[in-house]
Chain A
Amino acid sequence: MRDYPWYDIVDADETLMQGDFMSSCPVIVPSSSIGKGRISADIIEYDVIVMSQSCDLAHHKLDNVLVSPIWPIGEMGSENDFFKSRKGKESLRQGNLSGYHLLNRCELEGFETDFQVVDFRNVYGVPLDFLIELSKCNGKRLRLLPPYREHLSQAFARFFMRVGLPVDIDLFK
């Protein structure tokens, strides 16, 4: 059977694609009142993965790139015990935790990571030009490879298309 590696390392000047990892991506959170002049804002930094479609990115068909924060599973576990438990990890692996997606460990030299969790609930839109510049500054980057990239995209679609019914059908007894 052929090998299907999860990740590859790409050069900084390679075209941005879906599944590219970006470390320390800043997001500006302005204060509530915005007017002309000087305003205060918070900058929050996340390690993110690009969710926008590669063809849109390649042809500059969008101004803002959709990115999802990613977290090592250990950090998620330190915030919530459920992610420490076997049940939680197994649910994550099986895709039964809507809003989260599990990525495999990376053992590529210089990019070693534990299992990582993609957070679909807190996505951000980052200007494309800014992200391209950031990727050039960051140097080589990690890229999620097919079919795991498409699997991630599908998981996001599944999360986003959920419908909550105001009146559900009662349980069968």
Chain B
Amino acid sequence: MRHLALRPDRPPAPPRASLRECMRARLDLPLPCPKMKDIKIIFLAKGYILRSNMQLIERPLMSVSQSKPYPQSVTKEKVDSKEAFANKNNLEDSIEYDVVVRMPPKNRYFVEIDVREITKAKPKIVLPDAI
């Protein structure tokens, strides 16, 4: 405000335009615009996909500058929610699950075994190699 006060000849900042007005102005659409609703839906759902035709949509992904004639805040909010959705998905993936599956063996058959001898096991000592 102090800066503005030193330069009284500076023209006042343009009023903030609505989303509809921004889109219309950018695309140079007549009023009323029948497809505006559809475009807005796409815009809200997938904002930045339309960047080749509407650079305006991409701009709010960065910080909003008040010096721009058409500041947008709706897109950022949508992108944030999309990121939040992605983060939620990643978080679910990183959860450790305790799932146990009892798999049947590849093959199973019955045999009869002749036991020749039953002995008590003896320890088998393996000494570490010399360093």
A interface with B by C-beta (< 8 Å): 24, 27-28, 30, 34-47, 61-63, 69, 71, 75-76, 79-80, 82-83, 87-88, 90-91, 94, 96-100, 119, 121-122
Q: Find out whether the CB atom of A90 lies under 8 angstroms from the CB atom of B93.
A: yes
Q: State in angstroms the CA–CA spacing of A113 and B67 once bound together.
A: 60
Chain B facing A: main interface SS: loop
Instruction: Tell me whether B33 is interfacial, beta carbon within 8 Å.
Output: no
Nearest CB of chain A from residue B19's CB, rounded to whole Å = 35
Least CB separation from A90: chain B residue: B93
**Residues of B that sit less than 8 Å from A by CB:** 92-118, 124, 126
B115's nearest neighbour on chain A, judged by CB, is A36
4 A-B pairs with the lowest CB-CB distances in the bound complex, closest first: A44-B105, A45-B107, A80-B101, A96-B96
Which residues of A lie under 8 Å from residue B101 when comparing CB positions? Answer: 76, 79-80, 83, 119
Q: What are 25 A-B residue pairs whose CB atoms fall within 8 Å in the complex? A: A34-B118, A35-B115, A37-B115, A38-B115, A40-B111, A40-B113, A41-B111, A42-B108, A42-B111, A43-B109, A46-B105, A46-B106, A47-B106, A63-B124, A79-B104, A83-B99, A87-B93, A90-B93, A94-B93, A94-B94, A96-B95, A96-B96, A97-B97, A100-B99, A121-B100
Rounded to whole Å, the gap between the CB of B83 and the closest CB of chain A is 19
Query: What A residues does B93 contact at CB under 8 A?
Result: 87, 90-91, 94, 96
Cβ of A30: which chain B residues have Cβ within 8 Å of it? 113
A121–B103 CA distance with the chains assembled, in angstroms: 11
Query: Contact at A82–B97, with CB atoms within 8 Å?
Result: yes
Query: Closest CB-CB distance, A129 to chain B, in whole Å?
Result: 13
- A111 CA to B99 CA in the complex, in Å? 29
Which of chain B's residues have a CB closer than 8 A to the CB of A97?
96-97, 99
What are the residues of chain B within 8 A of A34 when measuring CB–CB? Answer: 115, 118
- Which chain B residues lie closer than 8 Å to A28 at the CB level? 111, 113
- B106 with A45: CB separation less than 8 A: yes
Residue in A43, A83, A94 whose Cβ sees the most chain B Cβ within 10 Å = A43
Give chain B nearest CB distance to A153 CB in angstroms. Answer: 19
| Given known A91-B93, A98-B96, contact A43–B117 (CB-CB < 8 A) | no
Q: Which A residues touch B116, using CB under 8 A?
A: 36
Shortest CB-to-CB span from B123 to chain A, Å, is: 11
Nearest-CB residue, chain B, relative to A60? B126
A83→B101 CA distance, assembly (Å): 10
Distance, CA A73 to CA B53, complexed state (A): 45
